[in-house]
């Protein structure tokens, strides 16, 4: 079975991140590098994780004018990441520019194009929070609207709450890959995630990849926690 678990390296230093990578690499499918770690350690942390042979999901959620996002995506391709994120709310032209930059830069550098993932609605947001920022206060409708826009732009993947996976699977082409944060093992706390499922439930709903952070990285024995989650996914 392909290991679908990407561990969120939400730690403040490269040293902490690489310690986790060395411990967890045999038990997980890859590692997510987000804003905190990338701001602290820069592109070098991506290069260091890639040198271990591990896959990297660069989660910086690009959201800017199309040309700026295209240049950022091109830079990420040159770092040899396997996934990266853009905000679907950036609009059709921005999303198209991101995918085009990924494909063109990959061809120029002889790499495989990373999976450009559109972020629909952050898993920390609920209906009340969406209404506060002037969006449709129905989370499901907002997710579906942004998902359809991303597919129209040619993107091949989405980030969404596990609770939206089943519905999206009914409306999206089968080739579109779904990446789900907000994953919490059976019996675990939700922390600041509002829309969660267990790893097994998320895969059964149709998720392709699971992003899991604190349930692994904050565990007394992270490797054992990761192995336990992987065992829970075995059919």
Q: 10-residue block means of pLDDT along the chain (235 residues)?
A: 91 97 96 97 98 97 98 98 97 98 98 96 82 81 92 96 88 95 68 66 93 94 95 79
- Would you call 174 exposed, middle or buried from its count of C-beta atoms within 10 A (0-12, 13-18, 19+)? exposed
Q: What is the model's pLDDT at position 140?
A: 81
| Cα–Cα distance list, 176 to 10, 30, 98, 111, 115 (Å) | 26, 19, 16, 21, 10
61 catalytic residue (yes or no): yes
CATH 3.40.50.620 fits 5-232, yes or no: no
Domain ranges for the chain, please list them.
Answer: 5-232
Q: Choose, from 3, 38, 43, 61, the residue flagged as catalytic.
A: 61
Q: What is the model's pLDDT at position 193?
A: 45
Q: Which of 63, 60, 72, 13 is nearest to 33 (CA)?
A: 60
Q: What is the model's pLDDT at position 196?
A: 66
Q: Which secondary-structure segment (H or E) carries 132?
A: helix 127-132
- Would you call 112 exposed, middle or buried from its count of C-beta atoms within 10 A (0-12, 13-18, 19+)? exposed
Phi, psi of 56 (to 5 degrees): -125, 130
User: pTM here?
Assistant: 0.91
Q: What is the model's pLDDT at position 197?
A: 83
């Amino acid at each position: 079975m392909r290991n679908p678990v990407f561990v969120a390296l939400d730690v403040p230093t490269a040293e902490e991140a690489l310690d986790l990578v060395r411990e967890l690499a045999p038990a997980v499918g890859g590692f997510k590098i987000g804003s905190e770690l990338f701001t602290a350690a820069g592109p070098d942390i991506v290069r260091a994780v890639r040198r271990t042979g591990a896959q990297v999901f660069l989660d910086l959620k690009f959201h800017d004018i199309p040309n700026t996002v295209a240049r950022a995506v091109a830079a990420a391709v040159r770092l040899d990441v396997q996934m990266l994120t853009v905000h679907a709310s950036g609009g059709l032209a921005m999303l198209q520019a991101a995918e085009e930059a990924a494909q063109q830069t990959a061809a120029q550098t002889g790499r495989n194009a990373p999976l450009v993932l559109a972020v629909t609605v952050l898993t920390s947001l609920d209906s009340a929070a969406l209404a506060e920022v002037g969006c449709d206060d129905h989370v499901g409708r907002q997710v579906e609207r942004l998902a359809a826009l991303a597919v129209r732009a040619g993107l091949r993947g989405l980030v969404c709450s596990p609770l939206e996976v089943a519905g999206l699977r009914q409306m999206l082409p089968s080739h579109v890959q779904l990446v789900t944060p907000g994953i919490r093992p059976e019996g675990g706390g939700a922390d600041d995630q509002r829309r969660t499922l267990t790893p097994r439930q998320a895969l059964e709903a149709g998720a392709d990849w699971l992003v899991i952070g604190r349930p692994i990285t904050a565990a007394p024995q992270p490797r054992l926690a990761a192995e336990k989650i992987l065992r829970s996914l075995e059919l």
